[in-house]
Amino acid sequence: MGVKQVLRAIDAFPRAEEHLLQKTKFGAFVSVVGLLIMATLFLHELSYYLNIYTVHQMAVDLRRGENLPIHINMTFPSLPCDVLSVDAIDMSGKHEVDLDTNIWKLRLNSDGRITGTEYLSDLVEKEHEAHKHDGHKEHHEDSDKIHLQGIDEESQNMIKKVKQALAAGEGCRVYGVLDVQRVAGNFHMSVHGLNIFVAQMIFEKSTHVNVSHIIHDLSFGPKYPGIHNPLDGTSRILRGASGTFKYYIKVVPTEYRYISKEVLPTNQFSVTEYFSPIHDFERTWPAVYFLYDLSPITVTIREERRSFLHFITRLCAVLGGTFALTGL
């Protein structure tokens, strides 16, 4: 007995005898349908194999000594740039912003079009010797002792300029990066940078300060594929009494690992919003606060691709099953 006969004897899938085979009238149609089904399943499995998916892992955050970049892009349609200030403070009590911080402001007309650009470093308050910015106390404290007996010429010119801007319906767009320490803290935008007497001469009382705002973009680091920042596109327009907006943010340290092994350190966050109206008898001034805290847990998002053996196994299963079904 030759090798060919031996192989035929142990064939696990013997073919049927020729005289037992009978061609049907719809055999060609069934074959074409089977080929189309197999081609469709092949393309589906190929797409499934080539598609990159992500795996999420959690661990304790061990990073220390790093800064936290805060990307800001907001519009205040009812506040001129001359009165809008940005302030930041952390739990250590420091009122400092890293020297690499870049904040810019764009003057907007009543139609929302840009009319001028200015660097905003002078509006980022570097030190406050007697202020406690906890969001609940008056920002203008009695430590501001200047101009008690009058307003100087420079302040008078600014008051006149701001009143003209308010009458013309000017707004302001603030954007840039705050590079703060990696500890809990807050940053806020308001008229707190003004001398209290100047603020009173401009607005008369705090209820006239309209802190309506639109958050175009707020993130705590670079963006990665699939990230969703919950405050992007948020619009809060005041129609009645003014007040203070507070956004309580929980920042989650995140690492995104690309399929190419490149690592992108960033952060994602969740937020809770609160609005507190201001009444005529109160001494507080409206503001928009962002109070953030960091989670002790870091999330690692890793891109992965399915194994080639897994692809071959699924491909054999679907194509073999389709072939066997059409053969019946």
Residue 147 has pLDDT above 90, yes or no: no
Angle at the Cα of 201 (from 195 to 203), degrees rounded to 5?
A: 95
Is the pLDDT confidence value at 123 over 70?
A: no
> Which secondary-structure segment (H or E) carries 155?
helix 153-167
Q: Where are the alpha helices (DSSP H) in 168-212?
A: 196-203
Q: What is the DSSP string of 201-242?
A: HHHSSGGG----EEEEEEESS---TT---TTTTEEE--SSS-
Q: In angstroms, what is the C-alpha Rg of the chain?
A: 33
Confidence of residue 148 (pLDDT cuts 50, 70, 90): very low
pLDDT digits (tens, 9 = 90+) for 5-47: 776 677 666 665 665 566 666 666 777 777 888 888 888 888 8
How many Cα atoms are found within 13 Å in the side-chain-facing hemisphere of 171? 20
List phi, psi (to 5°) of 298: -105, 145
Does the residue 124 lie in any domain?
no
How many domains are contained in the chain? 1
Residues 6+ apart with CB under 8 A from 219: 70, 71, 227, 229, 232, 267
Angstrom distance (rounded) from CA 30 to CA 65: 68
Q: Looking at residues 44-54, what average pLDDT do you find?
A: 85
User: Would 132 be classed as within a structural domain?
Assistant: no
What average pLDDT is seen over the chain? Answer: 80
Coil, helix or strand for 46? helix
Q: Is the pLDDT of residue 72 over 60?
A: yes
- Which pLDDT belongs to residue 165? 87
- Mean of pLDDT values over 297-322: 86
Say whether pLDDT at 321 is over 70: yes
Contact 297, 263 (CB under 8 A): no
Per-residue pLDDT, 288: 95
pLDDT at residue 265, as a whole number: 93
Decide if 192 is inside a domain.
yes
pLDDT at 73 over 70: yes
Residue 62 has pLDDT above 70, yes or no: yes
pTM for the structure as a whole: 0.74
Residue 254 covered by a domain: yes
Higher pLDDT, 60 or 93: 60
Choose the weakest-confidence range: 63-72, 132-141, 169-178, 244-253: 132-141
In a domain, 180, yes or no: yes
pLDDT exceeds cutoff 90 at 274: yes
Q: Which domain holds residue 259?
A: 62-117+154-304
Percent of the chain past pLDDT 70, that is, above it, reads: 79
Question: 14 in a domain, yes or no?
Answer: no
Please state, in angstroms and rounded to a whole number, the distance separating the CA atoms of residues 46 and 312: 10
- For the segment 270-282, the average pLDDT, to the nearest whole number, is 88
Q: How confident is the model at residue 132 (pLDDT cuts 50, 70, 90)?
A: very low
Check whether 134 has a pLDDT greater than 90.
no
Helix (H, G, I), strand (E, B) or coil at 273: strand
Q: Examine residue 113 and state whether it is found in any structural domain, yes or no.
A: yes
| Rounded Cα distance, 316 and 328, in Å | 18
In a domain, 289, yes or no: yes
